[in-house]
Amino acid sequence: MDTDAIVEVFDSILNLDYIDVEQQVIFAQRKVEYLEEFAKDILLINRAIEELQKFTKMYNDRENKPFENMTDTLGNSINT
């Protein structure tokens, strides 16, 4: 199995401009799982985990953002 070629496929998907961050998280997770199963280079696995954390943070930031500027019916700021 050509691990480098498979990682290149994951990377090309993760770097698409039009892919949603939720999908990036899913693909980054699959990449980590694949590397944990088949890779021999721990540094490659660690980089994939860091990449997954980056996409997860982006997803969490996006999901929390709509609530930052919400106000109640009296105009009071609602912070979650």
Give me the residue spans of the domains in the chain. 10-65
> Which residues of the chain form beta strands (DSSP E)?
70-71, 77-78
Per-residue pLDDT at 64: 79
Number of H helices, E strands in the chain: 3, 2
> Per-10-residue mean pLDDT for the chain, 80 residues long?
93 95 96 95 95 95 66 54
